[in-house]
Amino acid sequence: MFSSVFALLFLICSARCSTLLRGGTFITYSETTSNLEVITDGAMLFNDTIIAISHTIDGLDSHSTSSDVQTVNMTGKIISPGFVDTHRHTWQTAMRTLGPNVQLENYNWLFGSTGPAALILSPDDIYIASLMGTLEALNAGVTTSLDYAHMTWTRAHSDAALQGVIDSGARVWWCYHVGAVVISGDPYTVNTSAPIDQLAHIRELAKDSPFNGGLVTLGISADPPTAEMIETAQNVSINVITAHEVGGLLRLGPAR
């Protein structure tokens, strides 16, 4: 009951209330110069979207149509657009602090798509990790992410990860990993035919993409992409494929 009343009040306030941020340093974009613009001791008016940014409060008068404006003093603070993270494994939030000093070979074995996590983490674990990982990003100012989702061991795990990202409310390119998956630890066994079902699952998910009003968009991740993956992406209008190029003793690729 309390949550319902709170939600109703929030919706009413969102529709009627505006917020004025004043006195801070605003990092914005100039349409005139096509470049960043820094406004010191400025002001910004917004509700569910940014209405206007100005060098002075008086410059916002023509944009304010509501008498119910909440003013927040931002003196000494920096207000900037949300940051963009172009490579994030959101599901790995579940393993935070477990690998602070590992080399790439160890990382791939412990935390990669063919590591033991596939045999330990349930779809519910993956949902929570994906949700919390994306909320963690939002809390740090990252409002847009590319999620290299390489926990696509089963359809249930994949669906759970995607739902966690959707429920976060963030803007995400959720890139479904296509590749082999571990199915047994003793003896260690990898299913190299997993991409067949993964690509079929991608084709099904693509029918509903983008999700959450356009905030979450389906993509593909792979090391390296194959002709089948590229063909699938073209056939279902997926416009993002992310891949690695890693040299040295451990090569992942070549990928472009």
Side-chain-side CA neighbours of 41 within 13 Å: the count stands at 2
- Inter-residue contact 183 to 148 (CB < 8 Å): no
Strands 181-185 and 188-191: antiparallel
pLDDT at 189: 94
Asked if residue 225 and residue 119 are part of one domain, the reply reads yes
Asked if residue 160 and residue 34 are part of one domain, the reply reads no
User: Is residue 252 domain-resident?
Assistant: no
Asked if residue 95 and residue 74 are part of one domain, the reply reads no
Asked if residue 27 and residue 131 are part of one domain, the reply reads no
pLDDT at 73: 94
- Inter-residue contact 151 to 175 (CB < 8 Å): no
34 φ/ψ angles, rounded to the nearest 5 degrees:
55, 45
The DSSP-derived string for 189-217 is EEETTHHHHHHHHHHHHTTT-SBGGGTEE
User: Is residue 251 domain-resident?
Assistant: no
Asked if residue 229 and residue 114 are part of one domain, the reply reads yes
User: Is residue 255 domain-resident?
Assistant: no
Range of the domain at 42: 2-79
Give the CATH number for residue 184. 3.20.20.140
Chain length of the chain: 256
Distance CA 173, CA 244 (A): 16
Partnered with residue 241 across adjacent β-strands are 220
User: Is residue 235 domain-resident?
Assistant: yes
User: Is residue 249 domain-resident?
Assistant: no
51-109 pLDDT tens trace: 889 988 887 876 665 567 899 999 999 999 899 999 999 999 999 888 778 887 788 77
Last residue of a domain, one of 15, 44, 79: 79
For tokens 């249930």, name the residue. 156
User: Is residue 167 domain-resident?
Assistant: yes
Distance CA 209, CA 240 (A): 12
Last residue of a domain, one of 60, 79, 98: 79
DSSP letter at 82?
A: P
The total number of structural domains in the chain stands at 2
pLDDT at 96: 86
Q: Give every CB contact of residue 107 below 8 A, 6+ residues apart in sequence.
A: 99
Asked if residue 67 and residue 167 are part of one domain, the reply reads no
pLDDT at 224: 82
| Parts of the chain with a pLDDT under 70 | 1-16, 62-67, 246-256
| Residue 97 φ/ψ region, left for φ over 0, alpha for ψ in the -120 to 50 degree band, beta for the rest | left
92 φ/ψ angles, rounded to the nearest 5 degrees:
-75, 0
Q: Give every CB contact of residue 243 below 8 A, 6+ residues apart in sequence.
A: 221, 222, 223, 224, 225, 253, 255, 256
Q: Report pTM.
A: 0.81
Partnered with residue 89 across adjacent β-strands are none
Asked if residue 58 and residue 96 are part of one domain, the reply reads no
What residue type is assigned to position 127 of the chain?
Y
Asked if residue 230 and residue 162 are part of one domain, the reply reads yes
Partnered with residue 54 across adjacent β-strands are 43
Residue 33: C-alpha distances to residues 28, 51, 56, 91 (Å): 12, 20, 20, 40
User: Is residue 139 domain-resident?
Assistant: yes
User: Is residue 154 domain-resident?
Assistant: yes
Q: Please calculate the CA angle 253-255-256 and round it to the nearest 5 degrees.
A: 165
pLDDT at 69: 87
